[in-house]
Amino acid sequence: MTQMSNDAAPGFMLTENASLLRHNTLRVDARARWLAEITDVAAIPALLEQPALRDTSKLLLGEGSNVLFTGDYDGVIVTLKTRGVEVLPDAGDAARIRVAAGEHWDDFVRWTLAQGYAGLENLILIPGSVGAAPMQNIGAYGVEVGEFIETVEAFDLRERRFVAFSNPECAFGYRDSIFKRHPDRWLITAISVRLPRTHMPRTDYAGLADELKRMGIDKPAPIHVADAVVNLRTRKLPDPAVIGNAGSFFKNPLVATAQVEALRREYPQLPSWPASDGTSKLSAAWLIETIGFKGLREGDAGISNRHALVLVNHGHATGAQLWTLAQRVREGVQTRFGVMLEPEPRVIGAH
């Protein structure tokens, strides 16, 4: 392993033949030809001029909580370690806050709540960096981050310049954005959010209202909602610090409502929610559990026995072994229900 930094332009560290074991929450022991860790966004142009990187493929990585490496990466992985939260001029009806991409998302959510800001409470305890949040348009318990993002700042790796995207320009969709559709073009450096002064807590998602009732909360404030979400996530989802995982590995599929109605004739308990354009959203967890894959284990690759959506690494599973198991799950659901599940994390190296 070789490390180098540029004394003329401090702000980054380059490591050759770098282990990615601590850079992905599935704990896959893959390696990268180069790992570039940036502590100052002003150093990005100088980093890209390093001779070893000029004609090398680049992969942009946050905290690795939404990625599966199926093998080694023969290129440079770029990750931001920047820090900083700034309260911007007030918008009257909303607080405006700018936060560096390298901040930990859950830390930022907890900071907003501690400062009395509302809106992000449903998104507490989601692993990953702030910069990864708009990429995936992270969402939980009926809320998506795209509802609150005002601006996304980034460095355009193709045009070699700093740019800013308004909310509409981000083209947010369900677990989707323009950044996800072009995953290695824009290196997100910061986001700005608008958090409303008048905010009605969102408690209508399945299980959330029941948890608040269990807690004895009749009129929930944002902090109560956050506590309820933490309770639910802690009970349902395995902790990446305890067992390797990337959270929900499969998206809830959107299918034609007519297909849902046909499936419900055979499976009356099938959960579904109206979506848009004549589609409905199905519970991927229910589909996986119904075919008996919850808790399945093949070597060290497995499906969590706590939540059927979570792919887990019990110890030393390779990325290829984890992906093989994920493919088996997808094929099982497709065969039984005629529905193809899509992975939520980015899968690197799969063909």
Q: Look at residue 9 in the predicted model and tell me its pLDDT.
A: 52
Q: How far apart are CA 58 and CA 77, in angstroms?
A: 6
Q: Which of 341, 340, 333 is nearest to 267 (CA)?
A: 333
- Does the pLDDT of residue 11 top 60, yes or no? yes
Task: Please tell me the pTM assigned to this model.
Answer: 0.87
Confidence of residue 91 (pLDDT cuts 50, 70, 90): confident
Residues 298-326 pLDDT 10s: 999 999 999 999 999 999 999 999 999 99
Average pLDDT over residues 101-127: 97
Q: Which of 89, 186, 80, 170 is nearest to 134 (CA)?
A: 170
What is each CA distance from 279 to 67, 181, 269, 306, in whole angstroms?
28, 22, 18, 29
Count of alpha carbons within 13 Å of 329, Cβ hemisphere only? 34
- Bridge partner list, 60: 78
Q: Which of 103, 93, 124 is nearest to 195 (CA)?
A: 93
* C-beta of residue 2 within 8 angstroms of C-beta of residue 15: yes
Cα–chain center distance at 148: 16
What are the two backbone dihedrals, phi and then psi, of residue 33, each rounded to the nearest 5 degrees? -60, -40
Name the strands in the sheet holding 310-313, side by side, starting at the edge strand that comes first in the sequence. Answer: 244-248, 310-313, 301-303, 297-298
Residues 278-299 pLDDT 10s: 899 999 999 999 999 999 999 9
- Does the pLDDT of residue 191 top 50, yes or no? yes
Q: Look at residue 5 in the predicted model and tell me its pLDDT.
A: 44
Among residues 31, 175, 194, 330, the one annotated as catalytic is: 175
Average pLDDT over residues 189-207: 93
Q: Look at residue 8 in the predicted model and tell me its pLDDT.
A: 42
- CATH code given to domain 2-80: 3.30.43.10
Residues 330-350 pLDDT 10s: 999 999 999 999 999 999 987
Q: How far apart are CA 29 and CA 196, in angstroms?
A: 42
- Does the pLDDT of residue 7 top 50, yes or no? no
Q: What is the dihedral of CA 334, 335, 336, 341, to 10 degrees?
A: -10
- Does the pLDDT of residue 32 top 60, yes or no? yes
Average pLDDT over residues 41-54: 92
* Active-site residue flag, 248: yes
Helices (H), 192-276: 208-214, 222-236, 257-266
pLDDT, averaged across the chain: 93
Residue, of 3 and 312, whose pLDDT is higher = 312
Lookup: tokens for 133: 């949040």
Burial 22-31, CB ≥16 within 10 A → b, else e: ebbbbbbbbb
Residues 199-239 pLDDT 10s: 889 998 878 999 999 999 999 999 999 999 999 999 988 98
Coil vs helix vs strand at 285:
helix
* C-beta of residue 20 within 8 angstroms of C-beta of residue 30: yes
Q: Which of 190, 172, 232 is nearest to 102 (CA)?
A: 190
Q: Look at residue 310 in the predicted model and tell me its pLDDT.
A: 96
- Does the pLDDT of residue 119 top 70, yes or no? yes
User: Which CATH number applies to 85-196: 3.30.465.10, 3.40.50.1980, 2.50.20.10, 3.40.50.300?
Assistant: 3.30.465.10
- Specify the domain boundaries for CATH 3.30.43.10 within the chain: 2-80
- Specify the domain boundaries for CATH 3.30.465.10 within the chain: 85-196
Q: Look at residue 351 in the predicted model and tell me its pLDDT.
A: 63
Q: How far apart are CA 245 and CA 25, in angstroms?
A: 6
Residue at 145: amino acid letter: V
State the fold for domain 244-348: 3.90.78
Lookup: tokens for 35: 């790992």
Q: Which of 236, 235, 246, 234 is nearest to 313 (CA)?
A: 246
Among residues 65, 129, 192, 248, the one annotated as catalytic is: 248
- Does the pLDDT of residue 123 top 60, yes or no? yes
Q: Look at residue 314 in the predicted model and tell me its pLDDT.
A: 97
* C-beta of residue 232 within 8 angstroms of C-beta of residue 304: no
Residue at 247: amino acid letter: G
Q: End-to-end CA distance of the chain, in Å?
A: 29
